[in-house]
Amino acid sequence: MSRYSMHILVCGGTGCKSSDSDILVEKLKKELDKQGLGETVQVIMTGCFGFCEKGPIVKVMPDNTFYTQVKPSDAEEIVEEHIVKGRKIDHLLYTDPETSKHITDSNRMGFYKKQMRIALRNCGFIDPERIDEYIARDGYMALGKVLSEQTPEETIALMKSSGLRGRGGAGFPVGLKWEFARNNVSDKKYVVCNADEGDPGAFMDRSILEGDPHSVLEAMAIIGYCIGADEGYIYIRAEYPLAIARLKTALNQAREYGLLGKDIMGSGFNFDIGLKYGAGAFVCGEETALIHSMEGERGEPTLKPPFPAESGYLGKPTNVNNVETLANVAPILLKGAEWFSSIGTEKSKGTKVFALAGQINNVGLIEVPMGTTLREVIFEIGGGIKDGKKFKAVQTGGPSGGCLTEKHLDTPIDYENLVENGSMMGSGGMIVMDEDDCMVSIAKYYLDFTVEESCGKCAPCRIGNKRLHELLERICEGKGETADLDRLRNLGEVIKDTSLCGLGQSSPNPVLSTLDNFYDEYTSHVHDKKCAAGVCKDLMEYFILEEHCVGCTACARACPVGAISGERKELHVVNPDTCIKCGACLEKCKFDAVILK
């Protein structure tokens, strides 16, 4: 059917385009036409390959040849050598950094193993509203296997040896959590799925619920079997209507098939799941707060211990895991603990889903083995920084996390490394910042968030974060003093040390990590009253460009405080001491001579 026998794919991602990949396309087409191959070989511009460091990328199909750093001048050679004569061009081939050998078949490139989808295995593959498609991809096989072939103890032992840790925050070992809940004797126990994804910039849980809801239901039933619970709840944000709708559909289908309900698959095990809705409180991601919210109360956390595994929902032993954690359960049970623990680092096993956002080319969801470096994530998978700007920092872990910098780029990502460097895994949001982002403002932004989301129960979080925010505001307004920097640090450390729950214990992280990594930026705000990124308006001054000013006097007439001086037809000057930064001059100038810098 196809008219074309060969395709040349040229990366059209932002990074490659800026390295003239569009010119390359034109040249390739021209060369092909020259050889009379215009009708048999098609040149296609694709989306980003996610390998921008080595761009522009060219891939020749169907022989899977992967060329890197291709310049427009290489077009002729590609067409003549490869297309016409069928000889691969060695010097353009990708070189494996470990073996130093050219790789001719891109399927053998390590690059394609950078991402590995376990939790996201079905997202984007199956129709989430058809249980049959889930079953076709081994859905509910793990539940069936566990119910018919394994004791709860064996299952828990397997989870423990897999090394899976909670994907929602601190990374508590999952099998151990189940074991605690199992060992607490009670007439009633509950399984809770924490789907109150609240980190601004993280949306992996939503994607899983929308794309593969059954994987969560199956895992919850497995936990029910393991800990001895027959009732489960999914606590989900009311702001996720689509995920809620798909969950409802999935629940009905699972019930119709008898995969939820009484006597599941003839095992005698009963389990069903209900939905509880969050109502917009970030703190409810903390498990004790979540449980209070499920009980119809204000979502205020309580001190642990007692842990939910002892006394949770309605005072009964309760196991709480988040969505991504649950999505990992079935594959582990089917493929074994050994398989899972072979992925990742020594202490952090398996993969982690990250939501890449911010000043990065390929905003999106990715899943990589633990131990992948930030550089690989940002520059290879994420396609590098937007508009060719310079990387400045990456914020991981949401409002609880911290900002990591250039020097952390080659650190393998795992729970311990992130904490050691002043950040945390959190739910997996990764916000990339470039030279135009002011780190003091970023810290202020996060504090703004925590101040709004603090429940108000404990004093350090309720008042302390407010004070931190006030200090940052003053610094951004140019009112900061040297002593404020020490106060920021002391306050931050005390808030971390004394707050009641995880929210307060981590809320100063954005401040402390930026103080650690961008102290210069703080001092330049405080001492020089300058914001290099040009974000803090109060630290900027109005300035009239000599080359643009025609001396029309419009600005001087508009200025309400007489801060602009200058004779007609001569250069005008803003006196920064009298200027109140109202912006009237900038609005009035017809010659773009007034700027803010």
Partner 1 sequence: MSTVKIELRKDQIEKIHEFCDEFNNEHGELINVLHKTQQAFGYLPAEVQEVIADKMRLPVAKVYGVVTFYSFFTMIPKGEFPVSICTGTACYVRGAENVLSEFKKQLDIEVGETSADGRFSLSCLRCVGACGLAPVVLVGEKTYGRVAPDDVKEIIEEYRS
Partner 2 sequence: MDHIKLLIDGKTVEVPKGTTVYKAAKEVGIDIPVLCYMDLHDLNIENKPGGCRICSVEIEGRRNLAPSCSTNVSEGMVVKTNSMRVINARRTVMELILSDHPKECLTCAKSGNCDLQDMAIKLGIRDIPGQEYAEMSTYRLDTSPSIIREMDKCIMCRRCETMCNDFQTVGALNAVNRGFNAVVAPAFEMNLEHSPCTYCGQCVAVCPTGALTEVDHTANVIQALSDPNKTVVVQTAPAVRAALGEEFGMEPGTRVTGKMVSALKNLGFDYVFDTDFAADLTIMEEGTELLDRLSRHLDGDKDVQLPILTSCCPGWVNFFEYHFPEMKDIPSTARSPQQMFGSIAKTYFAEKIGVKREEMVVVSIMPCLAKKYECQRDEFSVDGNPDVDFSISTRELAHLIKQANLDLSTMTDSEFDSPLGESSGAAVIFGATGGVIEAATRTAYELQTGKTLESVDFKQLRGLEGIRSATVDFDGLEIKIGIAHGLGNARKLLEEIKAGRSEFHAIEIMACPGGCIGGGGQPLHHGNSDILKARTRAIYEEDEAKTLRKSHENPYIIKLYEEFLDQPMSEKAHKLLHTHYFERKRKVFEV
Partner 3 sequence: MNKIKSLSDLKKIREEQNRSIELRSKGEAAEKLVQVKVAMATCGIASGAKETMEFLMDSLEKRGVNAVVTQTGCMGYCYAEPTIEVTMPGKEPVVFGNVNTQKADEIIEKYIKGGALVDGIIPVNYETIQTKE
Residues in contact with partner 1 by CB under 8 A are: 197-203, 206-207, 238-240, 276-282, 293-300, 314, 355, 357-359, 363-364, 395, 398, 429, 431, 433, 437, 442, 445-446, 449, 452, 455
Helices (H), 357-481: 374-375, 415-420, 439-453, 459, 465-476
CB of 465 to partner 2, least distance (A): 8
- 196 is in the binding site of which of partner 3, partner 2, partner 1, none (Cβ under 5 to 8 A by kind)? none
- 19 is in the binding site of which of partner 2, partner 3, partner 1, none (Cβ under 5 to 8 A by kind)? none
- 459 is in the binding site of which of partner 2, partner 1, partner 3, none (Cβ under 5 to 8 A by kind)? partner 2
347 binds partner 2 (CB under 8 A): no
Q: Which stretch binds partner 2 (CB under 8 A): 158-166, 297-305, 536-544, 546-554?
A: 297-305
453 binds partner 2 (CB under 8 A): yes
Interface with partner 2 (CB under 8 A), residue from 366, 451, 564, 584: 451
- Residue 295, classed as helix, strand or coil, is coil
- 527 is in the binding site of which of partner 1, partner 3, partner 2, none (Cβ under 5 to 8 A by kind)? none
Nearer CB in complex with partner 2: 145/457: 457
| Residue 356: strand pairing partners | 364, 430
d(CA 586, CA 317): 64
Distances (CA, A) of 220 to 229, 256, 542: 10, 17, 60
Is residue 399 within 8 A of residue 453, CB to CB? The reply is yes
Quick one: DSSP state of residue 344? B
- 297 is in the binding site of which of partner 2, partner 1, partner 3, none (Cβ under 5 to 8 A by kind)? partner 1
Nearer CB in complex with partner 2: 76/448: 448
Nearer CB in complex with partner 1: 198/331: 198
164 binds partner 2 (CB under 8 A): no
Q: Which residue has the tokens 């008898």?
A: 258
For the chain, how many residues are written? 597
In the chain, the amino acid numbered 229 is A
Using CB under 8 A as the criterion, what x/- string covers residues 305-344 for binding partner 2? Answer: x---------------------------------------
Q: Residue 244 — φ and ψ, nearest 5°?
A: -65, -45
Distances (CA, A) of 576 to 174, 389, 479, 564, 573: 60, 30, 16, 9, 9
Is residue 193 within 8 A of residue 321, CB to CB? The reply is yes
Nearer CB in complex with partner 2: 171/224: 171
CB of 323 to partner 3, least distance (A): 13
168 binds partner 2 (CB under 8 A): no
Taking Cα atoms as reference points, which of 465, 501, 506 lies closest to residue 299?
Answer: 501
Is residue 396 within 8 A of residue 421, CB to CB? The reply is no
- 174 is in the binding site of which of partner 1, partner 3, partner 2, none (Cβ under 5 to 8 A by kind)? none
Contact partners, residue 479, CB within 8 Å, separation at least 6: none
Nearer CB in complex with partner 3: 9/540: 9
553 binds partner 2 (CB under 8 A): no
In the chain, the amino acid numbered 272 is D
224 binds partner 2 (CB under 8 A): no
How does DSSP assign 345-392, residue by residue?
-SSSBSEEEEEEEESBSS-EEEEEETT-BHHIIIIIIS-SBGGG--EE
Q: Which residues bind partner 2 (CB under 8 A)?
A: 281, 298, 300, 302-303, 305, 451-460, 462-464, 466-467, 470-471, 474, 484, 487, 490-491, 494, 496-500, 505
